[in-house]
C-alpha cells in the first residue's frame, strides 16, 4: 500500500452547540472520508440531537456518518452505519441489514478478532490503540499488525487511539484510514492540529 491513508474523523466524547460549526469548517477544508459520532453519554435524546445536527453537516458535504454502537438509531435517523466496539453481534446485524449500511468493527490488537469480523461481514476493522497509552488493557496494536493486515487481507483497516506524529508516520504506509478524535479536539486549534497530523503522513 503506497497511497496516503484517508482521514476518519471521530467526534469528541462531549459536544456543545458550537461543534457543528467547527466541524463544518474542518470538512470544508480537509478531505474527510468518514465521520463517527462517538459520545460518552448513553442518553438517547442527546445522541439523537447530536446525530441530527451532525448528519446535516456531514451529508451536505458527502461525508458518511456512522454512530458508535447504537445500531438501532441508524435506520431511524438516516445515518450511514454503525461502528461496533464489540463485534460479536456483527453477523446477525449484517444479515438483518443486508449489504447497504456501513458496519465497522473495533478489534483491539487481535488479528483473530479482525479476521472474524471480516468473515461476519464488516466493511472495515479498526485496531488500536495504535499509539502509546496507559489506558485500557495496555495492549497496543503495533505497526507489525497493520503491516501484516495490509499485506494479507483486502478488508480496509483503520488505525486509532493515542496517535501522534511519529506513530502516524509509521502507520501511513500500512493503514487505509487514520482515525483522529481527541488528538485534535483536545487542542486549542483542532484545524491546525489536523493539518499537522496530515503532514506527518508524508
What CATH number has the domain bearing residue 155?
3.20.20.70
Reference 10, options 54, 61, 56; nearest CA is: 54
Averaged pLDDT, 93-103:
97
- Is the pLDDT at 135 greater than 90, yes or no? no
What pTM did the predictor assign? 0.97
Contact 125, 105 (CB under 8 A): yes
Q: Per the structure, how many domains does the chain have?
A: 1
Q: End-to-end alpha-carbon separation of the chain, Å?
A: 14
CA gap 47, 108 in Å, rounded:
24
Residue 135 dihedral angles phi and psi, to the nearest 5°: -75, 160
Q: How confident is the model at residue 3 (pLDDT cuts 50, 70, 90)?
A: confident
Q: Is residue 145 part of a domain?
A: yes
In percent, how much of the chain has pLDDT > 70? Answer: 99
Write down the mean pLDDT value for the chain: 96
For cell 488528538, the residue is 183
Q: List, for residues 8-17, the tens digit of each pLDDT value.
A: 999 999 999 8
Q: List, for residues 162-174, the tens digit of each pLDDT value.
A: 999 999 999 999 9
- Is the pLDDT at 1 greater than 50, yes or no? no
Q: Does residue 111 sit in helix, strand or coil?
A: helix
Q: Is residue 1 part of a domain?
A: no
CA gap 155, 114 in Å, rounded:
9
Element (H, E) at 119: helix 111-120
Q: Which domain holds residue 149?
A: 6-188+195-199
Q: Is residue 83 part of a domain?
A: yes
Q: Is residue 27 part of a domain?
A: yes
- Is the pLDDT at 143 greater than 60, yes or no? yes
Amino acid at each position: 500500500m503506497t497511497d496516503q491513508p484517508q482521514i476518519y474523523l471521530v467526534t469528541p466524547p462531549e459536544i456543545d452547540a458550537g461543534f457543528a460549526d467547527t466541524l463544518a469548517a474542518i470538512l470544508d477544508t480537509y478531505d474527510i472520508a468518514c465521520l463517527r459520532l462517538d459520545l460518552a453519554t448513553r442518553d438517547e435524546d442527546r445522541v439523537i440531537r447530536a446525530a441530527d445536527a451532525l448528519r446535516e453537516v456531514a451529508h451536505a458535504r458527502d461525508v458518511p456518518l456512522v454512530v458508535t454502537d447504537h445500531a438501532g438509531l441508524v435506520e431511524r435517523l438516516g445515518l450511514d452505519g454503525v461502528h461496533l466496539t464489540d463485534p460479536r453481534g456483527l453477523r446477525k446485524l449484517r444479515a438483518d441489514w443486508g449489504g447497504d449500511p456501513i458496519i465497522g468493527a473495533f478489534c483491539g490488537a487481535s488479528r483473530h478478532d479482525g479476521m472474524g469480523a471480516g468473515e461476519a461481514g464488516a466493511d472495515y476493522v479498526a485496531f488500536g490503540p495504535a499509539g502509546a497509552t496507559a489506558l485500557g488493557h495496555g495492549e497496543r496494536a503495533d505497526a507489525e499488525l497493520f503491516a501484516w493486515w495490509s499485506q494479507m487481507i483486502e478488508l480496509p483497516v483503520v488505525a486509532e487511539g493515542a496517535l501522534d506524529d511519529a506513530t502516524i508516520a509509521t502507520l501511513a504506509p500500512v493503514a487505509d484510514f487514520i482515525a483522529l478524535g481527541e488528538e485534535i479536539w483536545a487542542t486549542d486549534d483542532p484545524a491546525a492540529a489536523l493539518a499537522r497530523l496530515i503532514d506527518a503522513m508524508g
